């Protein structure tokens, strides 16, 4: 079962090393042998991988068609961030956290926004760097640091052999939702296809809670919307390319198990499932601050939050955030 405390960057790094080890039999520095060795090594390494993966139910989850789920319009507010419409379930939110270069599950995020309600509803949006394509999927990657990945010639050769050239994180993860461990035949003549699947299966373990379902995002190539069971509720998760290009939006929509709108997360993949409600004043002010990114708009958000009953400690932190970002600018 996946753990909410998993370090996304660390697990991704370990996934790279693990597959390199499975293909080559060595973990040293995530190194790789020449591509000619892979076919011969694959049968034995594949058997070891299947044993290590075990019978974890989450790994058997593959892509489902969201259109097959009965479509009942869900009432929700909408917050537009990074060119993406995020459904916000109506609730009595009393916490708003906004930070730059924050941390979530160990991964470095350039900007973080989180709404929390005492009812168990929460919306998390983070702008995560490092999602451009890479020539070396086996490079040592650490999203918690400012430094970039450390690639090797062998890693680039292995990446080209498996994926045919540069590959994105989204494409690597996508492969894991196209099959399950039982689909690994461990045949030498299928090593390339199965190496891609194996890599994706390892990445499928990154996340919080038990994976229950996965859906493609029609408007975003290789993006997967996933539903996870967490303590006393549900967690909808997705990573989608942001309008900025080399970043991705990490979105979490958490709902209590008692919520009538438990399927609202599907609206992330199918916006027409939303019956948009008029946003409250504080959410309108937040949208204006995000859209304009002007200090006057951010400062205007503070009294709107106070009137709506948001916690004073969060308002004070937001004021510090605004002053640190804009200083005396108007």
Task: Give the DSSP letter string of 282-311.
Answer: HHHHHHHHHHH--HHHHHHHHHHHHHTT--
Residues 316, 192 within the same domain:
no
Looking at residue 254, what is its pLDDT? 94
Residue 122 belongs to a domain: no
Domain boundary among 170, 187, 204: 204
Tokens encoding 115? 């709404």
Which residue among 178, 204, 230 closes a domain? 204
- The reply to whether 192 and 309 lie within a common domain is no
Q: Beta-strand (E) ranges in the chain?
A: 74-81, 84-88, 95-104, 107-116, 122-129, 210-216, 224-230, 233-241, 247-256, 274-276
Q: What pLDDT shows up at residue 269?
A: 85
181 in a structural domain: yes
- pLDDT at residue 283 in the model: 98
Helix (H, G, I), strand (E, B) or coil at 247: strand
Q: Give the model's pLDDT for residue 140.
A: 55
Backbone angles phi, psi at 176, to 5 degrees: -70, -20
The CB density around residue 314, as the number of other CB atoms within 10 Å, is: 17
Whether 39 and 164 share a structural domain: yes
- Considering the domain architecture, whether residues 290 and 200 belong to the same structural domain is answered as no
167 and 286 together in one domain: no
193 and 284 housed in the same domain: no
Classify residue 218: in a domain, yes or no. no
Residue 214's pLDDT is 95
Final residue of a structural domain among 181, 204, 227: 204
Task: Judge whether 237 and 206 are in contact, CB under 8 Å.
Answer: no
Is residue 20 in some structural domain? yes
Residue 93 domain-assigned (yes or no): no
> What's the domain count of the chain?
2
Q: Is residue 300 a part of any domain in this protein?
A: yes
Q: Are residues 142 and 53 in the same domain?
A: yes
- Contact assessment for residue 32 and residue 154, using Cβ atoms and an 8 Å cutoff: yes
The pLDDT value given to residue 113: 92
Whether 118 is in a domain gets the answer no
Answer yes or no: do 283 and 193 share one domain: no
Whether residues 55 and 175 share a domain: the answer is yes
Say whether both 54 and 160 belong to one domain: yes
For residue 35, the model assigns a pLDDT of: 47
Residue numbers of the domain that contains 45:
8-59+133-204
Cα–Cα dist 182/90, whole Å: 41
Is residue 232 a part of any domain in this protein? no
Please tell me whether residues 200 and 294 are part of one structural domain.
Answer: no
Residue ranges of the chain with pLDDT lower than 50?
Answer: 1-14, 24-35, 143
CA angle 314, 319, 320 (to 5 degrees): 95
């Amino acid at each position: 079962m996946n753990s909410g405390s998993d370090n996304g960057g660390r697990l991704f790094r370990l996934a790279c090393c693990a597959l390199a080890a499975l293909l080559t039999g060595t973990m040293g520095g995530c190194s790789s042998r020449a591509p000619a060795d892979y076919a011969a090594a694959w049968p034995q390494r594949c058997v070891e991988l299947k044993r290590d993966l075990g019978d974890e139910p989450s790994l058997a989850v593959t892509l489902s068609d969201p259109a097959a789920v009965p479509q009942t319009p869900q009432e929700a507010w909408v917050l537009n961030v990074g060119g993406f419409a995020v459904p916000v379930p109506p609730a009595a939110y009393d916490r708003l956290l906004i930070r730059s270069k924050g941390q979530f599950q160990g991964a470095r995020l350039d900007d973080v926004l989180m709404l929390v309600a005492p009812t168990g509803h929460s919306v998390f949006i983070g702008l995560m760097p490092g999602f451009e394509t890479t020539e070396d999927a086996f490079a040592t990657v650490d999203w918690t640091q400012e430094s970039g990945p450390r690639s090797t010639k062998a890693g680039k050769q292995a990446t080209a052999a498996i994926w045919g050239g540069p590959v994105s994180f989204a494409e690597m993860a996508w492969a894991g939702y196209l099959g399950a461990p039982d689909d690994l035949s461990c045949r030498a003549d299928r090593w390339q296809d199965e190496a891609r699947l194996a890599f994706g299966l390892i990445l499928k373990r990154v996340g919080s809670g038990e994976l229950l379902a996965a859906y493609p995002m029609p408007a975003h190539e290789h993006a997967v919307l996933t539903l996870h069971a967490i303590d006393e509720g549900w967690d909808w998760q997705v990573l989608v390319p942001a309008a900025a290009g080399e970043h991705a939006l990490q979105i979490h929509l958490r709902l209590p198990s008692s919520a009538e709108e438990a399927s609202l997360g599907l609206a992330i993949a199918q916006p027409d499932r939303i019956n948009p409600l008029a946003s409250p004043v504080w959410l309108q002010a937040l949208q204006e601050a995000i859209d304009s990114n002007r200090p006057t708009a951010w400062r205007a958000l503070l009294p709107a939050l106070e009137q709506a009953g948001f916690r004073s400690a969060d308002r004070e932190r937001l004021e510090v955030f605004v002053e640190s970002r804009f200083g005396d600018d108007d």
